[in-house]
Structure formats: C-alpha cells, structure tokens
Amino acid sequence: MITVKQLSFGYTRRRNIFDSLSLELPKGSIVGLLGRNGEGKTTLLKLLYGQLLRRQGELKVLDSDPKHRAVSFLQQVYLLPEVFRVPPISIRSFFDISAPFYPNYDETVAKELIDIFGLQWDMNLKKISQGQKKKALIAFALSLRVPLLLLDEPTNGLDIPSKGEFRRAVARYTSDEQTILISTHQVRDLEQLIDRVLIMERGSIFCNATVADITERLSFRLITPELANKALYSEPSAVGTVGILPNDGNEDGESNYSMELFFNAVISERDRILQALSQGH
C-alpha cells in the first residue's frame, strides 16, 4: 500500500524536515500518526498525496509515485486537511461538482452521513459554522470509498457529540480493504478506532506497531509500590500512578490499553519501550 525509502524533504534548502525517512504500511488498517508539534505529520500526508514533492528517496503509494499525480492515482486517494477553504455553494452542489472525479463514490453513504451529522443539502458552506463545514467534508471524504484516505486532525473543531458520530461513521462506512491514515493529537477521540500506531520524532518514524502487538507485549495498569521497579514507564493520573509493564502474563488485574499513555512512554522511554515491543520478533 505505502512504501517510503530514504525520503528527504525540506521547505528550505538549509533545513530538512525528513532525512532518510522510511516506512512500510499494509492495506486494510486504520493508522494513527502521532507526534509532537512540528514533527512533520502534515508534511508526510501531503507527500503521500503528491501535494508536496520529495527531494530524494523512493515513494510508492498504491503502486504509483505520487509526484506524477496521475489521474488513476488521484481517483484512489483523498486528503482531508486540517485547515481548508470552502466555496460559497451548497453542500449538494459541492458533492455534485466534486464526486464525479472519484469512481467509487457512494451516494447512499453520502446521504446517510449528511443525515447522521445533522446537515441539510441546501446549507451554504460559507454560511455554516466551522464544525458543520468539517462534518460536511468528513461526509464527503467517507463517501468517496477511496482505497487510501488521509485525514489531518479530523476531530479538531468538532463538539463532543460530533466526535462520537465521527468514530461511529468511520467504523461503519469503511471497509477492510481501505487504509485510513489519521494524523492527530486527539488520541482519546480516536483510540477505539486505531489499530496501528506510527510515532514520528526528529524526522523519523521509530515506532510502527499494531495495537494487537502492543497489547500482547505490554501491560497497561495502575502501578502499585510493588510494581514500581518493574515499570517501563509511569506517570501520575487522577486515579493514581499509571504505567506500562512488560506483559509476562503473571500480573494480576486487567490491562487497559491507552494510546496516550503509550505515546508518552515512547517519547520518554523510547529504547525501553521499543525493546519490550521487539521481544518475540
């Protein structure tokens, strides 16, 4: 689905955001792209989409090189940016004008999503709230049924009920054949959806793991004084100290996976966490 080898890119000649970035992603997963501000998450999405052109390296998406922006490629991938502009037309007109470029577009899905999100087809995109605009564009993106969907901070600007509607819509209206790559800081909003985690830091992706692998090898739990010495990472929380232990199958109690806790652990204790993850490979 996605192959990146030794990719380099920078907005200026003096500084590269990526130096020799490499990545392999299979099809059929919902992937969370995590990282601190300025690490290049949005830049990577734009490179995968062909909106930006790499300096060096190899990039294959859906068996195509995005830099060529072939029609057959653009019909199969869609990028929903965090910051967007909309024309002063109705939602219906926007769909009618844009959808014909995507052969997998499903009008039935579009109608159901417009209803789920509480929108009306005759709403003018320029005159509705930012949250309503976002929901209209999410409905459009999901109704395209493209093999690769790139979403940049899709829950930003949504209220709490709308975030729930978004999660349910992604779960219902995507197939096992689609790959969805979501760049986000709102990890709690998306934790139930994501089945693979990418963590980016300093221009590299140093964690590419499925949630199944993470939960098989790591245990997420309250850290009692007796467990403190075994913890790979811990932090205070409202319910006490929480942390991550190697999953040796000998701990009492249920492990409660937390993507936010995992991200914090990888950023703070990268070598220890990745070494524990590599056990058994």
Token digits of residue 210: 């499925």
Mean pLDDT, the chain, rounded, equals 93
Is domain 2-87+146-202 given the CATH code 3.60.20.10 in the classification? no
Residue burial 77-88, b: 16+ Cβ < 10 Å; e: rest: bbbbbbeeebee
Token digits of residue 178: 């689609």
In the chain, CATH 3.40.50.300 covers 2-87+146-202
- Helix pair angle (107-116, 130-143), 10° resolution: 150
Give the mean pLDDT per block of 10 residues along the chain (281 residues): 94 87 93 93 96 94 96 98 95 98 98 98 97 97 98 94 95 94 91 94 90 95 93 94 88 81 95 87 54
Taking CA atoms, 231 is separated from 44, 209, 241, in Å, by 33, 20, 11
pLDDT one-digit tens code per residue, 155-173: 999 999 999 999 999 999 9
Maximum Cα–Cα distance across the chain: 63
Token digits of residue 50: 């062909």
Measured over the CA atoms of residue 171, residue 111, residue 1 and residue 50, the dihedral's sign is: negative
Res 250: pLDDT: 65
